[in-house]
Chains A and B, each alone.
Chain A
Amino acid sequence: MTATRTLTYCQAINEALIQEMERDARVFIYGIGVPDCKRIFGSTAGLVEKFGPQRCFDTPLSEDAMTGFGLGAAINGLRPIHVHARVDFLLLCMNQLANMIASCRYSSGGKLDVPLVIRAIIGRGWGQTFQHSKSVHSVFAHIPGLKVVMPTTPRDAKGLLISAIRDNDPVIFIEHRWLYYAVEEVPEQPTAIPLGKARILRTGDDVTVVGVSWMGVEALKAADILKARHGVCVEVVDPRTISPLDTEVIARSVGKTGHCIVADNDWLHCGFSAEIAAQVSETCFGRLKSPVKRIGFAFTHCPSARHLEDRFYPNAVDIVRAAEEMLGLKPTEMTDEDMYSYEKKFKGPF
């Protein structure tokens, strides 16, 4: 049966949670604010009413302990989902993540499964500044034993969250706040999308843009502009899973186009974009027609004032300029383009 209805990213996450909690009584969801009146921007709406306070509960402000708590519940028969309203808060949990959770299967000789999902949301805009806007996915992906998922579209958010919940390894599931309003056709059935597989968001033969999370949206916008203004066909690759990484799809695309731009939603230095650039140079060296270009956050802290913040974040314009430079094209005029379309729905303050 073909699905004909659309959902927002937020609704897609909510639907995945409801369906998985209905399917498996071992699944529970917890974290600061999970059952409160705001319901993690609506993504946990209806859960406490449907599944009760034992399977959907708030916690003390003890991110570190509550992360270890998730590990303990996971190795003792349950399937926890721990939620953080910001990725930045997850940094309080690094000891549990890096020293306990990541190595648990290994240190038990494979005797312990760790079916734990950690959801965390990237903030942006309206003065979020430097402690409410981090992605730092490369930090998590650096550690063996952790899976890191960053869906861009509603369909992927639902399908990948279902897979993450059913997975027997720890999965860090990173959502971008601005993507919460993205709309896409999403199947009503709980259809799992396998972890570790990239998705071609748009096919093209001229330039490959690897776009991560929100930057996938910017990459699609840039692809529209490049097509309209220059007739350039961009292939937009969404890795979807940062670790394990689908290098095959990326290599195949770059092998075809010979040009690669990595648009990451993070700093470049020692980041995921550096990893992609290295992998592409290793696998596509002879076929590259230009050096890999990387686009990401300015290597500073995210400022509050809007005009400064604009300079901190990259966008479709940067991707267009990078492609033009790569292909030796004259810079096109873009002042009439409508950028940051989703931000218009974001009214703050959080």
Chain B
Amino acid sequence: MITGQLSAKKNTVLRLNIELYRKLYLIRNAEQKIREHYPENEMKTPVHLSIGKEAIEVGVCHALESRDRIFGTYRSHGIYLARTGETDAFFAELYGRRTGLVRGKVGSMHLCAPEHGLMVTSAIVGSAIPVAVGAAFASKVRSDGSIVAVFFGDGATEEGVFWESLNVASLMQLPVLFVCEDNDLAVFTPPECRRGYDCIRKVVSQYNCTVLGLDTTDAETVYRTACDAVQAIRRGGGPCFLHLKYYRYLEHVGVEEDFDAGYRTREEFSRWYEKDPITLQRTKLCRLGAREEDLLKLEEEIDRQITRSIALAKESPLADTCELYRDVL
């Protein structure tokens, strides 16, 4: 029992942080395992890893309820793992197996689990944003208190459809949380080559939409801010734009570091790595009174789960050929 002999309040805080850490660790280590196995050339799917942005995915997803709907991008491993905690179907999908999440048809870029509320993830930048707004309209019509969260990168805010969607959501006061995961990069291209304004938060605040921003790698801070946003939206306060900064540790697509590519420096990475979301959370847990042996046990459990899932995926039969034409109409 990790939360042993603490006061009730401290206990609650510790429990929350353990839950956040469990998800952070799951994502980081699932992604690291992908890095390890990718060179085997069996996982033939372009991967856009979540490493570096785990605090955003964990913090926001933890603030959502099971009835809420989520939309994402090609970089959604972390969202899926935070939302489901499941790795068997996840890895089987990356390996193109019959037992995969979508029976081996969609790979890494289109994770989809409507039964867990993860509706659509898109590899066309910005394209899931209006879909999320439409889903939010359906939530509003149903008046069941459910909301919609849509994740997208900072590059998506340069797509016309982002502004169209923001306008519609603000006009119709729809229950949607726009989660902008800002890593300051569109593949390799920096903001100064892409933007005719200084501050996205200021621009968005001109709409009838709440704007919240954070520059943190602390999952708990993201969680608490997301909770505020979610509650306001659920109470009928209209849309919210949550702008969250992070640092992409690896190349845009693939499993390698790319500090030698010339567009950024290892020093920049090192500065961010000092506040790495997983290390930060583990240190915090120790400070909050978690026992080292309990944390090791939790980590081993997750490691075993991931190793088992990968082995299982590799043993599973390849996607059935009938899948080619299945579910077109």
Contact = CB atoms under 8 A, between A and B. Distances in A.
A99 B131 CA distance: 12
A66 B134 CA distance: 8
A57 to B, nearest CB: 9
Interface string B215-246: 00000000000000000000000000000000
Contact of A96 (B103, B130, B132): B130
A17 to B, nearest CB: 18
A166 to B, nearest CB: 14
A298 interface: no
Given A60-B171, A69-B137, A75 B110 contact: no
A246 interface: no
- Find the residue from B101, B112, B164, B168 having the highest chain A CB count within 10 A: B164
Contacts of B69: 76
Interface string B139-168: 101100000100000000000110011011
Contacts of B120: 71, 75, 100, 104, 107-108, 112
Interface stretch (B46-54, B261-269, B280-288, B321-329): B321-329
A75 B112 CA distance: 12
Interface in B286-329: 326-329
Contact of A76 (B110, B112, B135): B135
A110 B325 CA distance: 11
Interface in A189-224: none
A109 B138 contact: no
A111 B135 contact: no
B110 to A, nearest CB: 5
Nearest to A146: B329
B145 to A, nearest CB: 14
Interface string A15-29: 000000000000010
Contacts of B134: 68-74, 76, 80
Interface residues of B, number: 42
Interface string B83-109: 000000000000000000111011000
A136 interface: no
Given A62-B167, A105-B329, A67 B130 contact: yes
A67 B128 CA distance: 11
Nearest to B146: A76
B114 interface: yes
A110 B122 contact: no
B124 interface: yes
B136 interface: yes
Interface string A24-61: 00001000000000000000000000000010000110
Contact of B103 (A54, A75, A109): A109
Contacts of A244: 329
B36 interface: no
A196 to B, nearest CB: 10
A61 to B, nearest CB: 9
A109 B141 contact: no
Contacts of B142: 77
B279 interface: no
A77 B117 CA distance: 13
B274 interface: no
A71 B136 CA distance: 11
A65 B165 contact: yes
B127 interface: yes
Contacts of B114: 75, 108, 111-112
Contact of A75 (B119, B141, B161): B119
A74 B133 CA distance: 12
Contact of B326 (A69, A76, A104, A110): A110
The 9 A-B residue pairs with the shortest CB-CB distance, nearest first, are: A72-B134, A68-B130, A65-B164, A69-B134, A62-B164, A76-B138, A72-B135, A65-B130, A110-B327
Interface of A: 28, 54, 59-60, 62, 64-78, 80, 95-96, 99-100, 104-112, 144-145, 147, 169, 244
Interface of B: 69, 71, 101-103, 105-106, 110, 112, 114-115, 119-120, 122, 124, 127-139, 141-142, 148, 160-161, 164-165, 167-168, 171, 326-329
